[in-house]
Amino acid sequence: MTRARKELVSIEATPYYHCICRCVRRAFLCGEDFCSGKNYEHRRGWVLERLRALQGVFAVDICAYAVMSNHYHLVVRLDADRATAWSEGEVMERWERLFSLPLLVARYRAGQTSTVAERERAQAQIALWRERLQDLSWFMRSLNEHLARRANAEDGCKGRFWEGRYKSQALLDDAAVLTCMSYVDLNPVRAGMADTPEASDFTSIQQRIRMLASKCDRQEREASDEAQPSLTVLGREGDDPHANVVVFTTEDYLELVDWAGRAIRDDKRGAIPEHIPPILECLQIDPVQFVRHVGKGRGTYHVAALGCVERMRAAIRRLGRRSIKGIGLAGRMFLAPSGCR
């Protein structure tokens, strides 16, 4: 049975979530439709444009993304502390970028409310917006509804663009975040759409590689940044708690994804080496299970949460459930709680 989103998303349990959304009937509505002969590749750029715009509104960070022909993946971080620090004026300004302000709130902003009751009602509405601007469901709604309306307008039709509500998975620790980011970034390689991570278009791994490339001049980098979402900074623990997400560095992460990308391809040399990437040792992730996990396709992430067994059991108690799908996988892949934080 489908569970309420509030049972799947809890900022107290973790701020990190993996989201998946698929086009209706799994049609290639963001790629090349071989049946009709139409090409919708340009729509994949729409996803990145919208993500970039929503980052200026919501307290949501993008850790990883991959936009495929008929679905997309996101790994996001909800930043409740950032939203709490916003002033009332900033909350109103951000909300107004997406929605029109009610007359009462507009009068409150202009200092034209005459009674205490009016001011309290306006303040209550602003407090509600503050909650929504750090809410995963409102973020995904603002993303998917915009894309659906734009695609339907282009096609001159009405009806569903997405097959249903988005799927979400809680990522309970650094090991889970790392595993899920790798899975997302390797989607095009796994699907045979690209030979290497750097050739994977519309993915965060390609964006990270290009950001580090010394050949990319400043002007080209600035032009690229305008069309792509900002990615969370990796490996800056202690510098800025709001900018940092996880303990592994970008260099370690790129090395791991390159290794895993070769390991999951039948035509590439990818046997597990004697010296596994240090990042797996640090986070106590079994390398064999890791490669099996990121090498699987659809169905791999149909679990409500991912993390070490101890955190999975804590999530079960917090949600008041008897069990949670994926705890067996967690026991095989995550050898111990992440101790690198």
pLDDT tens readout for residues 162-201: 998 899 999 988 889 999 999 999 999 888 888 888 889 9
Highest mean pLDDT among 157-166, 266-275, 306-315: 157-166
CATH level 3 topology of 5-83+134-333: Alpha-Beta Plaits (3.30.70)
Mean pLDDT along residues 248-274: 71
The domain ranges of the chain are: 5-83+134-333, 87-132
- Sheet containing 16-22: give its strands across: 60-67, 71-78, 16-22, 167-171, 305-306
**120's tokens:** 């309290």
Distance separating alpha carbons of residues 319 and 321, to the nearest angstrom: 5
Per the CB < 8 A criterion, the answer to whether 72 and 66 are in contact is yes
Per the CB < 8 A criterion, the answer to whether 320 and 263 are in contact is no
Residue for token digits 């790798």? 182
Q: What does the radius of gyration of the chain's CA atoms come to, in whole angstroms?
A: 21
Would you say residue 43 has pLDDT above 50? yes
Mean pLDDT along residues 304-316: 83
Residue 206, Cβ neighbours under 10 Å: how many? 20
Q: How confident is the model at residue 217 (pLDDT cuts 50, 70, 90)?
A: low
Distance separating alpha carbons of residues 255 and 277, to the nearest angstrom: 7
Q: What is the pTM of this model?
A: 0.86
Compute the C-alpha angle 59/65/70, nearest 5°: 120
Which is more confidently placed, 164 or 322? 164
Q: How confident is the model at residue 241 (pLDDT cuts 50, 70, 90)?
A: very low
C-alpha 40: how far from its chain's center? Answer: 23
Q: Which amino acid is at 114?
A: S
